[in-house]
Amino acid sequence: MKRIITALLILALLPISACAQNKQNMNNDNYKKVLVAYFSATGTTERAAKTLAAATGGDLFEIAPVPRYTNADLNWHDRKSRSSVEMADSKCRPEIKNVKTDIVDYDIVFIGYPIWWDLAPRQVYTFIDKHDLAGKLVVPFATSGGSSINGSVADFKRVYPKLDWDNGRLVNRIDAKGAKAWFDSLNK
């Protein structure tokens, strides 16, 4: 008899705890839908983007250039190389392969890129131009050979002053634990 009463009590309490769990998810930061968009010419930023997506439960989206960059395109010693020409023109918006048609679904959009000439590559501006990021938290992340992310974020704020920019982070050596700690600390 005692066992039957205990079993009945457990059954009666189950829906309450399931409800409490749902409510917790609604209030939890993790409930927010995360997109990790990135451009990467040689793979370093892509690795960081994958780490961030895994740690945040976010979806990955590659900002893919058309065509992809060759080594000659990336030669910053050559003033006529593709990257030099693009970066010398602040209005340049190189073509990207895809747009994210369901961007409206996301609350937090990470945008990753290599630092080029202290800025984000122009494809990243193409991505921002082609997606309505208003009302979302936009979080830049970058890899570099030594430069900070600050110049690139300052330029984003100048060109897109209405967006809600986080100050971003350089992520050359980010790991799963660091990515999770950063995500948890964001002002969401």
Ligand X SMILES: Cc1cc2nc3c(=O)[nH]c(=O)nc-3n(C[C@H](O)[C@H](O)[C@H](O)COP(=O)(O)O)c2cc1C
Q: Which of 32, 44, 60, 94 binds ligand X (CB under 6 A)?
A: 44
Residues 165-184 as x/- pattern, contact with ligand X by CB under 6 A: --------------------
Of the listed pieces 56-64, 90-98, 99-107, 144-152, which binds ligand X according to CB under 6 A?
Answer: 144-152
**What Cα–Cα distance (Å) separates residue 53 from each residue in 38, 48, 88, 188?**
11, 9, 32, 17
Residues 86-105 that bind ligand X (CB under 6 A): none
- Min CB(152)–ligand X separation in Å: 9
Residue 138 near residue 109 (C-beta atoms within 8 A): yes
d(C-alpha 14, C-alpha 152), whole Å = 51
Q: Which helix (H) or strand (E) holds 19?
A: helix 2-27
Q: How far is CA 150 from the centre of its chain?
A: 16
Which residues, in sequence order, are bridge partners of residue 141? Answer: 112, 169
Q: Which of 41, 55, 109, 138 binds ligand X (CB under 6 A)?
A: 41
Residues 55-84 as x/- pattern, contact with ligand X by CB under 6 A: -------------------x-x------x-
155 counts as binding ligand X under rule CB under 6 A? no
What is the secondary structure of 122-154 as a DSSP string?
HHHHHHHHHS--TTSEEEEEEE-SS--SHHHHH
Q: Which of 118, 155, 164, 166 binds ligand X (CB under 6 A)?
A: 118
- Amino acid letter, residue 25: N
123 counts as binding ligand X under rule CB under 6 A? no
d(C-alpha 83, C-alpha 69), whole Å = 8
Of the listed pieces 8-16, 44-52, 129-137, 180-188, which binds ligand X according to CB under 6 A?
Answer: 44-52
Q: Which is nearer to ligand X, 45 or 123 (CB)?
A: 45
Residues at the contact surface with ligand X, assessed by CB under 6 A: 40-46, 74, 76, 83, 114-118, 143-147
